Structure 1
Amino acid sequence: MTAMASYLKKHTEALVKDVGIEPACKLTGKSKATLGRYYSGHPEHADRFMPVDAVAALEEAASYPHVTAALAELKGIGLDFDETRRNTRGKGGVNSDVIALSQRFAMLMAEYQQSIEDGRITVNEAKRLLRETTHLQKVLVDMKMHLEDETT
């Protein structure tokens, strides 16, 4: 499997887990097994990817557009959320964002410290680091939106 395929499958898995497996089945009309094949790393499923309509349905319900963001990153493109989803977590402003950013970064560093203690990062540790990185990314997006609001 190519690095790109593996990257997309990992983000597909993050999307399904963000929504939850049962709700994902209902939203897409797919079984648990079918959804699992879309993010499976096994060679027999290497050429299976989630259809774009299923991705769109799940990303509408998800807290973050995991697959769309992954596709954008692979192409070197940055994403900007539309007005309707902007700052849905509250109106704390940039000061609150800076505090949340420092807290999330501290959590990421604590997770990294714990993961690297034995000299290697296991798959489960990598997943926890990825989850913390995604949370940090969400805080940065909120901060960006607040800064854009203040400059307009």
Structure 2
Amino acid sequence: MKISIGNDHAGPDYKQAVVKMLEEKGHDITNHGTDTFDSVDYPDFAHKVAQDIQENRSEIGIVICGSAQGVSMTVNKYQNVRGAVCWIKEIAGLAREHNNANVICIPARFTSIPQAVAMVEVFLETEFAGGRHANRVNKIACS
């Protein structure tokens, strides 16, 4: 699967752990994030991840910042992107199953690295349920 990932200075170590797990599972990763703890602006990488989803260069996106709120607001500006702030793996699963989320937004300052890795695993393994949820998801996008 093609996956885009991006992070600000709150998440280089989170990204490293997530990318390691993803590469071990054979996924193709595009890295738009920083690899240092030097301050950067989260919209810069969040836009790149969202554009990859919007333009079908990636199927799934992962964005990481301190609270995940800013990256979520940024990616959700795109018509075909549904970013979900997740802090436990159950939320990550429901975001995929019920909301057909295609970007997981991880709050590095409020989760551990093992939690983040587990959330991404669940996010990737969970299928959209469709059915009654499809009608609701179709009402999210503005035309």
TM-score, normalised via structure 2 length: 0.33
Structure with the largest fraction of helix: 1
Structure with the largest fraction of strand: 2
* Bigger-Rg structure (1/2): 1
TM-score, normalised via structure 1 length: 0.32
